[in-house]
Amino acid sequence: MSTLKHQHAVSPEITEESIADYLQANPEFFERHGSLLNSLRLPHNAGGPAVSLVERQILVLRQKNLKLERKLKDLVDIARSNDALAARIHSLAMLMLAAPDQAGVIKVLEEQLRVSFNADRAILVVFDVPADAAAAGRFLRVVEREDAQIAPFRTFMQSNAPRCGQIRDTQRDFLFGPDNIEIGSAALVPLGAHAEMGFLAIGSRDSGHFHPGMSIDFLTRLGELVSCALRIR
């Protein structure tokens, strides 16, 4: 019999599982029976005409190759994105180191977040009044740590880690103003341990730009960099 469908009529003891086990244990079987390999026909996945086992193997290998190519492309894109991000972080660090004072650091931070990091909105919240704070304009928000407006951020500050995603209306209103309803998502970055110095808020109009599942390594490094730059001035 040429098909498994009829095999039980001849040899009831032979099963599909036993055949599969045999072929797995004897991978050289088709090397010894090349003509059988070429004569086997398998139904096409797309409902077309039957193809040989060799053709099916080639098709499977091509599909695997396409998946690997896509995966490799994704990895290359991520690597390029990370390189570009690292370059912007390096540039930001150099510019803040060159700033003459704390006000200069704040000005550089605001400009770079807007120009180099494409932030739709950004706010620096600090709990101590920096020298010449007025020079920073609306980017800088100076409040007391125990201010009632900070209450919606308590859990975030206690977590001691950046937080990404959609923010509550009270948080958005405090940071960006009640008229900034276009802010769809935001990243909150603590400055110092448990936000002892304050925190940085970066807003995006895209509701999916900052999301809970994204990597926070970049934001963590940004927070450490800004904290150090503000502290040494």
pLDDT at 210 over 70: yes
Rounded to 5 degrees, what are φ and ψ at 83? -65, -45
What is 99-231's CATH number?
3.30.450.40
Q: What is the DSSP string of 52-111?
A: EHHHHHHHHHHHHHHHHHHHHHHHHHHHHHHHHHHHHHHHHHHHHHH-SSHHHHHHHHHH
- Name the residue among 56, 66, 64 with its Cα closest to residue 30: 56
Residue 191 is inside which H or E element, if any?
strand 185-191
Q: Where in the chain are the domains?
A: 4-56, 99-231
| 162 within 8 A of 223, measured Cβ to Cβ | yes
State what percent of residues in the chain have pLDDT above 90. Answer: 42
State what percent of residues in the chain have pLDDT above 70. Answer: 81
pLDDT of residue 20: 82
C-alpha span between 132 and 186 (Å, rounded): 28
Q: Over the chain, what is the mean pLDDT?
A: 83
- Name the residue among 215, 197, 210 with its Cα closest to residue 105: 197
Give per-residue pLDDT as tens, 218-228: 999 999 999 99
C-alpha span between 51 and 54 (Å, rounded): 8
C-alpha span between 106 and 120 (Å, rounded): 17
**Least confident window among 15-24, 39-48, 124-133, 209-218:** 39-48
| 38 within 8 A of 54, measured Cβ to Cβ | yes
Give per-residue pLDDT as tens, 105-145: 999 999 999 998 889 999 999 997 665 555 456 899 889 88
pLDDT of residue 6: 47
Longest dimension (CA), the chain: 95
pLDDT of residue 53: 62
Q: Which two tokens stand for residue 233?
A: 């001035």
**Least confident window among 52-61, 147-156, 188-197, 212-221:** 52-61
What value does the mean pLDDT take over residues 50-69?
76
Q: Which two tokens stand for residue 156?
A: 């975030």
Which residue's entry shows tokens 């802010």?
183
Return all residues near 155 (Cβ < 8 A) that are at least 6 apart: none
| DSSP bridge partners of 12 | none
| 214 within 8 A of 78, measured Cβ to Cβ | no
Give per-residue pLDDT as tens, 149-181: 999 999 999 998 999 999 999 999 999 987 777
Q: Is 144 helix (H, G, I), strand (E, B) or coil?
A: coil
